[in-house]
Amino acid sequence: MKTLDDLLGEGVSGRRVLVRADLNVPLDGDRITDDGRVRAALPTLRRLTEAGARVVVAAHLGRPKGAPDPAYSLRPVATRLGELLGTEVTLAGDVVGESARSAVGALGDGGVVLLENVRFDARETSKAEAERAGLAAELAALVGEDGAFVSDGFGVVHRKQASVYDVARVLPAYAGGLVLAELEVLRTLTGDPRRPYAVVLGGSKVSDKLAVIEALLPKVDRLLVGGGMCFTFLAAQGHGVGSSLLEQDMVDTCRRLLAEAGDKLVLPVDVVVADAFSADAATRTVPVTGIEDGWLGLDIGPETVAAFGAAVRDAGTLFWNGPMGVFELAPFAEGTRAVASAIAESEAFSVVGGGDSAAAVRVLGLPEDGFSHISTGGGASLEYLEGKDLPGVAVLSEER
Ligand code: 3PG
Ligand code: MG
């Protein structure tokens, strides 16, 4: 696979380079609540602009329905990217249309244009290869004859989409610095991790995490499960879970996993329950044997925090994906905060697996430098750990 270094070695001054970045940040209105992904995109963009490239960035925001939708405009991201780069970033008004062509045409050496949300074009996420190829060809045309493609949107490399996958087949394609750094960390986790290797998993659904649980169980020493998905496991152990999140059709699967995993799989022993999904609900801390009807579990309890903390403290390698509770609501943030702090304080090689967990680190004000690596890819890092091929990475080593 060719890399950004190879491209810089060839020389990029005056050349147009298309960069796929993952700038899919959480927004509150048009305020970015966590700009981690924008900051993670900077090193590759800076290396290109400093070398005199004319940089065209393609990115998505959320999941618009394949047509322009102002609620999903990359406008706030263009503003933030410009502030962080210390240079004007022009936002094109479309993806590959008139506005994109003229913005790219006006680019000078070292300049940056951000294309509007690439998912405003339905071909981006189309299942039909020919449709995606059509968009890929138009993206390639923006950078022209001596153009190049740098794949740096690690958070989206698990998607077989036009600006991630197909475009890499029509332009000379290079892996960006972020993609390379992320892959190196994940390789450490799948290779020969320092023991004990503990994984902390949370989030709402077992069904989303099933494949990764199955893939990790033989490799890890401890798998600590919190978050909404723990209730399906608790139900599989025979506990009543009241109105907590429950995936009824996963109960048998959880029962099998518990049997196979033995004492590797560690579940909460107490939880914080509430009488409503709300920050001002009545709350109690109860043992997992005492969740009453009408109450729902929204966080792990203090005894669980202590047990998870102990497992975290003696680990040599840690991977954490998924919050322990509804951390967005203050009364249910403590479990996530405490477990994340224990991870941050540990001496282990610690990796935060993207998405909500990465946002939680910053939103809860935890020290980012306490972690060895905070991934920008939630789904992408999980799929890697599951042993799946990441289309946006695999395509970079295809013979062409
Ligand atoms: C993410 O936030 O998980 C990535 O940006 C990919 O987005 P997607 O899940 O909508 O494809
Ligand atoms: Mg996602």
Model pLDDT for residues 204-238, shown as the tens digit of each residue:
999 989 999 999 999 999 999 999 999 999 999 99
Instruction: Quickly count: other Cβ atoms within 10 Å of residue 99's Cβ.
Output: 17
Joined together, the tokens standing for residue 211 give 């494949």
Read off the pLDDT band of 356 (50, 70, 90): confident
Asked if pLDDT for residue 355 goes beyond 90, the answer is no
Kindly name the residue from 37, 46, 159, 264 that is annotated as catalytic: 37
Q: Please provide residue 313's backbone torsions phi and psi, each rounded to the nearest 5 degrees.
A: -65, -35
pLDDT at 149: 98
**Rounded distance between C-alpha atoms, residue 261 and residue 25, angstroms:** 36
Position 202 scores a pLDDT of: 96
Identified catalytic residue from 205, 255, 362, 388: 205
Mean pLDDT of 325-330: 95
Tell whether the model's pLDDT for residue 400 goes beyond 80. Answer: no
Q: Which of 243-247, 269-273, 307-311, 364-368 bottoms out in mean pLDDT, i.e. has the lowest?
A: 364-368
pLDDT of residue 331: 97
> Percent of the chain, pLDDT > 70?
100
Question: Distance, CA 25 to ligand 1 centroid (Å)?
Answer: 10
Q: For residue range 250-309, list pLDDT tens digits in order.
A: 999 999 999 999 999 999 999 999 999 999 999 999 999 999 999 999 999 999 999 999
- Nearest ligand (C-alpha, residue 159): 1
- Per residue in 163-210, pLDDT (tens digit) is 999 999 999 999 999 999 999 999 999 999 999 999 999 999 999 899
Q: Look up 65 and say whether it is catalytic.
A: no
According to the model, what pLDDT value does residue 107 have? Answer: 98
Rounded-to-integer distance, Cα 41 and Cα 339, Å: 28
Instruction: List ligand 1's pocket residues with C-beta within 6 A.
Output: 22, 24, 63, 155-156, 159, 355, 378-379
Structure confidence at residue 233 (pLDDT) = 98
Phi, psi of 290 (to 5 degrees): -125, 35
Q: Is the pLDDT of residue 363 over 90?
A: no
Is residue 37 annotated as part of the catalytic site, yes or no? yes
| Nearest alpha carbon to residue 136 among 175, 165, 94 | 165
Cα–Cα distance measured from residue 17 to residue 58, given in angstroms and rounded to the nearest whole number: 11
Pairing of strands 148-151, 16-20: parallel
Q: How confident is the model at residue 359 (pLDDT cuts 50, 70, 90)?
A: confident
Average pLDDT of the chain, as a whole number: 96
> Which atom of ligand 1 is closest in space to residue 153's alpha carbon?
5
Q: CA separation (Å) from 127 to 95, 122, 130?
A: 19, 10, 9
Ligand 1 mutation target, pool 120, 159, 182, most atoms within 8 A of CB? 159
The token duo for 75 is 């406008």
3-class DSSP string for the chain: CCEHHHHHHHCCCCCEEEEECCCCCCEECCEECCCHHHHHHHHHHHHHHHCCCEEEEECCCCCCCCCCCHHHCCHHHHHHHHHHHCCCEEECCCCCCHHHHHHHHCCCCCCEEECCCHHHCHHHHCCCHHHHHHHHHHHHHHHCCCCEEEECCHHHCCCCCCCCCHHHHCCCEEECHHHHHHHHHHHHHHCCCCCCEEEEECCCCHHHHHHHHHHHCCCCCEEEECCCCHHHHHHHCCCCCCCCCCCHHHHHHHHHHHHHHHHHEECCCEEEEECCCCCCCCEEEEEHHHCCCCCEEEEECHHHHHHHHHHHHCCCEEEEECCCCCCCCHHHCHHHHHHHHHHHHCCCEEEECCHHHHHHHHHCCCCHHHCCEECCCHHHHHHHHCCCCCHHHHHHHCCC
Residue 175, both tokens: 């892996």
Q: Ligand 2 centre and the CA of 372: distance in Å?
A: 22
Q: What is the pLDDT of residue 212?
A: 94
pLDDT for 82-113, tens place per residue? 999 999 999 999 999 999 999 999 999 999 99
Token readout for 123 is: 């071909």
Residue 153 pLDDT exceeds 90: yes
What spacing in Å lies between the alpha carbon of 381 and ligand 2's midpoint?
11
